[in-house]
Amino acid sequence: MTQIEAKVSESRNIAAEPDLAARLLGGEVIVARQALESSGVFREMLDDSIAAVREHMGSEMTATILEAGFERVHEIVPADQIPAMTEAVYRVIEAKAPAYLSRLMPALFGDRSFYFETAPNVRFHIPYDSARQHAGLYSTFAKKRGEGKLTAHGPHRDSWLDCPDNGVNIWIAFGRVRKGNGLTIFIKENGQTQNYTEKGSVADDVALSQPETFDLEPGDCILFHTDQLHGSELNRTNETRFVISFRVTLDKPHFPREHHHSYEYSGLAKGPFRPLATLPAILQPSFATSAFRRAVRRLAGRSGRPVTSKTIGPVPTVFADQLADGKIQPIDANNCVARLSDGSIVAFARRCPHEGADLANGFMSDGQIVCPWHNVPFDPVSGGSPCAALKVRMKSCKTLEDGRVVIAGEAKAAA
């Protein structure tokens, strides 16, 4: 993706926005307030989702959810039933995706043809402390439907996950979304974010800037390029986040890596010709070459994704007078230090207790140590976080006579 204009804009009349497609494909992120209201798509999708929940969970539980709001789903539906409920909503949303998009896309981009991923993304993120009790079940769901549906996905570009690199994400809130359980978008990039892991997330050795996060009300949506670096916040709130998103392309989808995600052409997606709707995207050389590569890898027993090592290289000596306020620096392979606003220096374990992100690549925000992958803040004194199950181990450090900062008990003589 070549970023022409990396910024966030807000619109309360998305249909009137000039050059919308070009702006999104150029890197602009647009928060569209009540963007689906005029097309009627939001109400229909919401009603269909409710009907799917009712069929799966029963009328009584569904009535309780509607009375309390989707934000309270985790207090009503047992955590181990969330994956099956999500799958029920998936089935109805997938079946009607062409009908939804046939009205939504003209409302956004005017009367033009487009391609859309056959499977939309249904996202129920309940608070992490509730979900972690059934980590195995949620992991199994992620293997089927992908990261980011029930579990937080690290910063990534969609093309790393074998999606097109010329698409637009339409990320729609069906319940309230709060900063702390929503989407992260990294507007300020450092030019080093092309390395990624076998999970399709940014590599371990990449430092990230503080991401943009968003508060949304039901019916609001975020529009952004599929290759804008983005991810999920680990849900540290006391609310469930319910979102449905679509990936679309305004031209034939271009697959820079693997080509196996199914995309339908809008011109064939309705009526008797729908069985042929995937052919225009399939009839590209990338589909055949991708199928051949996957077959070779299966025979060789390889996954084909690059694997990033977590080996830590040499760490420069940290001197107290060179440690800027609000700056995190690694002090050795296992620890980091940071200077707080009051001038004190704190030390802590280098790996996030959630998924092992290198906190040396994180940042300080509002006096908190923030994980670069899922935006979880940790208290610099106690090490605690809003997620009761996650706590960074704090260490003791001291400054030697020569100005070096060291972990207490691990000081070495100056060379």
Q: Mind listing the pLDDT tens digit for each residue in 394-409?
A: 999 999 999 999 998 6
**What's the pLDDT score for residue 39?**
84
Q: Are residues 141 and 21 both part of a single domain?
A: yes
Q: Are residues 290 and 338 both part of a single domain?
A: no
Q: Are residues 327 and 291 both part of a single domain?
A: no
**245: in domain:** yes
Q: Are the CB atoms for 1 and 225 separated by under 8 Å?
A: yes
CATH of the domain at 28: 2.60.120
Of 267, 300, 333, which residue constitutes the final position of a domain? 300
pLDDT tops 70 at residue 411: no
CATH of the domain at 384: 2.102.10.10
- Domain count of the chain? 2
Of 241, 268, 300, which residue constitutes the final position of a domain? 300
Structural domain including 391 reads 320-407
For residue 32, give both structure tokens. Answer: 């569209």
**1: in domain:** no
**208: in domain:** yes
**313: in domain:** no
Q: Are residues 144 and 208 both part of a single domain?
A: yes
Lowest-confidence segment of 1-15, 109-123, 397-411 by average pLDDT = 1-15
Q: Mind listing the pLDDT tens digit for each residue in 225-284?
A: 999 999 999 999 999 999 999 999 999 999 998 998 999 999 998 888 888 999 999 999
pLDDT tops 70 at residue 312: no
**362: in domain:** yes
**314: in domain:** no
Of 272, 300, 328, which residue constitutes the final position of a domain? 300
Q: Are residues 68 and 101 both part of a single domain?
A: yes
Q: Are residues 199 and 96 both part of a single domain?
A: yes
**165: in domain:** yes
Q: Are residues 248 and 324 both part of a single domain?
A: no
Pairing of strands 345-349, 394-395: antiparallel
**375: in domain:** yes
Q: Are residues 392 and 283 both part of a single domain?
A: no
